[in-house]
Amino acid sequence: MIPLIDFHIHSTFSDGLYDIMDIAAYALKKEFKVIGISDHFNTRKVRSIEPDKIKNYIEEIESLDLPIKIYKGIEIDFSPRTDLSLLRKTIFESIDYILFEYVNDSSMMGYPLWRLLEIYEDIGKPIGLAHNNIQKNFNSINREDFLDLLETHNIFLEINTNINYSILGEYYYSISEEVFKSIKGRSIPVSIGSDMHNNLEEMLNVKKGIKFVESLGIEENVKLFMEILQH
Ligand SMILES: [Zn+2]
């Protein structure tokens, strides 16, 4: 069984409507076991956290005194809209994990995966591919080679239950079902997130993602993600 979890949530620190306290209180009320706040880092796309505000962000999350575990994530728009020279270890020291959006997604001007591999050691934190239409964005790479790359570099995949990441009602994760099936038994962590911005109830959509995980029998991959966060 996978507990109720949500590792992709936006607050007023970037383009979300609710502050971190409201989000945490809601999560507690709905009996989430653990959540992660993942506001946008420096991007021209939306309101986002500039490097000098990271400290406030961390402090705000850490100051919450509620009986729920809250991780400190951040989301990076991996495209020319972000100043990549800012992506240094020192900036993300207190961050628990980093979501990279639009990796290998040419329709969103996303940078290729190899560029992420170039910088990932510098960052020194768990990193993952957020709401990626893997089936489409990585169709030119051999499936096994792709999975080997993820495994070797400990890059996690996200199951994102936001309707923005669907085509004709089918979610990207569902479109990429074959990929998720083939990670069973491999050390590739899997995260689940609602990408909530304006409606707290959307956090409950993660239940669809949890169902998906259970239907494929990849619960161990989700547990692996929760384990790497503890290091
Ligand atoms: Zn997001």
- Contact at 8 Å (CB) between 205 and 5? no
For the chain, 231 residues long, give each residue's pLDDT as a single digit of tens. Answer: 899 999 999 999 999 999 999 999 999 999 999 999 999 999 999 999 999 999 999 999 999 999 999 999 999 999 999 998 888 888 899 999 999 999 999 999 999 999 999 988 888 899 999 999 999 999 999 999 999 999 999 999 999 999 999 999 999 999 999 999 999 999 999 999 999 999 999 999 999 999 999 999 999 999 999 999 997
How far is the centre of ligand 1, averaged over its atoms, from the C-alpha of 200 (Å)? 14
Q: How far is CA 40 from CA 45, 50, 88, in A?
A: 9, 9, 16
166-167 and 170-171: which strand pairing?
antiparallel
CATH classification code of 5-229:
3.20.20.140
Q: Taking Cα atoms as reference points, which of 24, 76, 27 lies closest to residue 51?
A: 76
Rg for the chain, CA atoms, rounded = 16
How far is the centre of ligand 1, averaged over its atoms, from the C-alpha of 144 (Å)? 28
How far is the centre of ligand 1, averaged over its atoms, from the C-alpha of 22 (Å)? 18
How far is the centre of ligand 1, averaged over its atoms, from the C-alpha of 139 (Å)? 23
Instruction: Tell me which DSSP letter residue 62 carries.
Output: H
How far is the centre of ligand 1, averaged over its atoms, from the C-alpha of 40 (Å)? 7
Does the pTM surpass 0.85? The reply is yes
